[in-house]
Structure formats: structure tokens, C-alpha cells
Amino acid sequence: MKLEQASEKIPWKSLTHFGIFLIILVVGTVATLIVGEVEGLARADLSNAPIRAMTTAPDSEVMYATLTDASRPGVYRSQNNGRTWERVGAGPGVTLNTLAVHPVNHQVLYAGAAGGPVATSNNLWRSDDGGQTWHKFFLSLPGNVDGLIPAVTALAIDPYQPESLYVGTEGQGVYKFDVGQEGVGYELVGGVSLYNAHVTKLVVGPDSDVYALTPEGLYTSRGNDDWQKLDTVPEYPISLAVAPTDADTLYAGVPSSGAYRSTDGGRTWENIADGLGLVPGAALRVTALTVDEADSWHVAAATAYGIGKQIAGGGIYESKDGGTSWTKLGDTDKIINELTFDDGTIHATSDEGLVRYSTPDNPAPAIPFLDSLTQFSGLQLFMLALTTGLGALALVGQKRWM
């Protein structure tokens, strides 16, 4: 008798509706998360992503990166110092070698790509909406005698003349583009003295001096004069940083004896490798350097070790006295190719991902996986709304619930 009364109070049809509601809720939620993961919109970080290029907006928490993974290519953006990322677009449809963000308008991005025949290749691209859409540059680099335009391998923007974009190429020198609203052309920086060099990195100092790293050494052009090779560095540098607050303070990383510092614009250099983990029998390589925007003596370095033809990862180090002493922030098994300071955090980028290192004075906040699930895309919000609506219909879609 009691069993019959209970059955009357909770009809089996109502239980069926409730079961349908649970199924809709679970399936809809899972589908929403899958959409976010597939589109790259629910990524907690890029620590294991194959990064091709990365750039950081000065005085901002905005960062951009491109990936080489064929399953999730495109341009990614972080608005919180690299804690979480979202995929903002597919890119221009070509592999991007290098990125640069406008120092004032962080929606403006520049990208360099591979070269090729003049008639069919586009090696310079621009986005005015934060990487969502891209268009070719208003002018193309000149072709060589074979009718080919060079690959763009490095980009840099003058922080004090933000409409001046410097473009480093593979075998055709460095060009300066006027990218302002009235921009109508470009010029070859320093004449033809660096014309055949492969430029691997460009740095623009606070006095608008331009530094170019090449396999043949470090060159500088002051006031658009001819390139001068800085032969005073004991080894050919493989990394370089110029203090944003002091044009005379330079840091250079070299392939076997660590790093050097110059306080006179590159005329003389002092070795600052003590404290960077020297190992007997191994070459100490400093593969990346960066200087704090507010303090020319606050510098970070990434190291690696060379043993024969093999190179192994080393560590990430910080110095607050210009390299006189170093504090080790952590080990890395990756070869770091770029470092950036950002709000007390050091970002280390390699071909295998981006890792954030906290400094002793500024511990980096945790990056829980669920952080990424709070940044839903429009499609994800639509799917959640649809799931909620269908679930509600399943619950109230009958006249009597009990």
C-alpha cells in the first residue's frame, strides 16, 4: 500500500523527464568545453605548445603568440600576463617567423613571413584588430637579382617613435618602414654594408640606435649611419638586450663564456658569467636576455650548456646589480630563445612552450586549470544557453511534476 502511494506521488513519467534533463545538462556542458578546447579558447596556458613567435606589449598585460602545431595553428592572445590564452584568429594563412606589437595601440600587430617570388609572396603582414584579421603591407620589400623577396626574420619598433618599424631580413639587410597613417615608404638602414647578412634579432635602444645580431657578429647603426661591427665583444653574441632607461648599458649573451655587460655603448665589455652555473668541460651559452623597463641593472638571463655538438637546457637567472651577482629562479630542459619581464614575472619562451617564472619579490599567481573555463567564447555561451533552455523544457514541459 505504501509503495503504491509513493508511486502516485512521483510518477515514472516525471522521473523520465528529470533523467532527460540530466542528460541534456551533462552532454551540453561537455560539448561546450570540447568546443573551447578544439578552438583553442579554453587553454589554461601555452607551457607545452610549440611557439613560433611571441611579442609582449610594453606597459601592459597583453601578449601575443603564434603556434606551429598543425592541429591548432593561429594567433593567440593573453590579456593577463600569460596566465590564460585565447585563440583570436587563424592568421594570414602563412607561417609567421616573427611578431611585433605597436607600443601604444596594442590592437596593431606586425608579422614577418617567408620570402619567395616577388609576384606571389607576401612577407610582411599587419593586423589592426588584435590578430583577428590580416592584410598585406602597403609596400613589399624589393626583390633581389633573382626576382625573390627575402624572408623577414626579425621585427622591432622604436619605442619613442612608434611609427618606425624595423625589418630584419635573411640576406638583404635591415629596412625601416613608416607605418603611420601617412606612411608611404621605407628605407634601407645603414646602406648596403649589412645587405648580405642574415639578421636573427633586432633591438632598438632608447636613443633610436639600432642593433642587429647576425651569425657574423653584432652590428649597430647610429642615426641611420653605416653599420659598424662591435668587435669589442670577446665572442660573437647570440643574444642581446639594451637597457630601456640607459642607452649605454648593453648586455650580450655568447656561446661559450656566458654573458658580458657594457656601460659605455659597446666600447668595452665586462664578463658577468660568475653565478650563472659554470660547469667544467661545458660551454656556457646565454641564449636570451632581458632588462627591466624601469631599472637598467635589473636583468634576466637564460642559460644552456654546449657539450660537443649537443646543447642542453640550463636555468633562468635574475640579477639586480647588472650581473655582478645572480639568483637562480629555476631549471629548464628547453633552449630558451626569448625572455621578457612583465609585472614582476619573467616569461621564458622556447620552441616547445612558454613558462612563467616568479621572482623572489613578486611570486607569480597560481594558474589553476579552471581559470581558462571562465573565459568563454560567444559560441560557448550560445551552447550553454541552449543547454539551459532545453533542460528547462525537460523539467517544466509537462503539466504536473508531482
Tell me if 243 is assigned to some domain: yes
**Using CA atoms, how far apart are residues 237 and 357, in angstroms rounded to an integer?**
24
pLDDT tens digits for range 239-292: 999 999 999 999 999 999 999 999 999 999 999 999 999 999 999 999 999 999
Is 90 exceeded by the pLDDT of residue 215? yes
Q: What are phi and psi of 293, to 5 degrees?
A: -65, -20
DSSP string computed for 311-355: EEEEEEEEESSTTSS-EEEEE-SS---EEEEETTEEEEEETTEEE
| CB proximity list for 84: less than 8 A, separation 6 or greater | 43, 44, 45, 78, 367, 371, 372, 375
Tell me if 54 is assigned to some domain: no
Tell me if 300 is assigned to some domain: yes
**Residue written as grid cell 626574420:** 153
**Using CA atoms, how far apart are residues 115 and 125, in angstroms rounded to an integer?**
12
- To the question of pTM greater than 0.95 for the whole model, the response is no
Q: Are residues 36 and 132 in the same domain?
A: no
How confident is the model at residue 337, as a pLDDT?
93
Give me the number of domains the chain comprises: 3
Domain boundary among 229, 249, 270: 229
Name the grid cell of 374. 571562465
**Using CA atoms, how far apart are residues 185 and 205, in angstroms rounded to an integer?**
22
Q: Are residues 98 and 178 in the same domain?
A: yes
Q: 228: closest CA among 242, 237, 217?
A: 217
Tell me if 391 is assigned to some domain: yes
pLDDT band at 125 (very low <50, low <70, confident <90, very high): very high
Q: Are residues 24 and 137 in the same domain?
A: no
| CB proximity list for 38: less than 8 A, separation 6 or greater | none
Tell me if 69 is assigned to some domain: no
Domain boundary among 342, 357, 390: 342
CATH of the domain at 147: 2.130.10.10
pLDDT band at 41 (very low <50, low <70, confident <90, very high): very low
Q: Are residues 97 and 187 in the same domain?
A: yes
Query: How confident is the model over 212-220, as a mean pLDDT?
Result: 95
**Using CA atoms, how far apart are residues 280 and 313, in angstroms rounded to an integer?**
16
pLDDT tens digits for range 351-391: 888 888 877 665 554 443 334 434 445 544 555 566 666 55
Q: Are residues 100 and 216 in the same domain?
A: yes
Q: 74: closest CA among 56, 59, 96, 97?
A: 96
Tell me if 61 is assigned to some domain: no
3-state secondary structure of 301: strand
Q: Are residues 117 and 204 in the same domain?
A: yes
3-state secondary structure of 3: helix
**Using CA atoms, how far apart are residues 213 and 313, in angstroms rounded to an integer?**
22
Q: Are residues 104 and 218 in the same domain?
A: yes
Which helix (H) or strand (E) element contains residue 37? helix 12-38
Q: Are residues 99 and 210 in the same domain?
A: yes
How confident is the model at residue 118, as a pLDDT?
77
Query: How confident is the model over 125-151, as a mean pLDDT?
Result: 88
- Angle value at C-alpha 36, between 31 and 42, nearest 5 degrees: 135
3-state per-residue secondary structure call for 369-387 = HHHHHHCCCHHHHHHHHHH
Query: Which structural domain, as residue segments, surrounds residue 142?
Result: 91-229
Q: Are residues 388 and 258 in the same domain?
A: no
pLDDT band at 75 (very low <50, low <70, confident <90, very high): very high
**Using CA atoms, how far apart are residues 192 and 186, in angstroms rounded to an integer?**
14
Is 90 exceeded by the pLDDT of residue 230? yes
Domain boundary among 210, 229, 248: 229
CB 26: neighbour CB atoms within 10 A? 12
pLDDT band at 11 (very low <50, low <70, confident <90, very high): low
Q: Are residues 239 and 290 in the same domain?
A: yes
Q: Are residues 101 and 116 in the same domain?
A: yes
Tell me if 64 is assigned to some domain: no
Q: Which stretch of 172-181, 195-204, 219-228, 392-401 has the lowest confidence by average pLDDT?
A: 392-401
Q: Which of the pair, 230 or 345, is modelled with greater confidence?
A: 230
How confident is the model at residue 39, as a pLDDT?
44
Tell me if 357 is assigned to some domain: no
| CB proximity list for 5: less than 8 A, separation 6 or greater | none
Q: Which stretch of 43-57, 177-191, 357-371 has the lowest confidence by average pLDDT?
A: 357-371
Q: What are phi and psi of 263, to 5 degrees?
A: -115, 10
Q: Are residues 224 and 239 in the same domain?
A: no
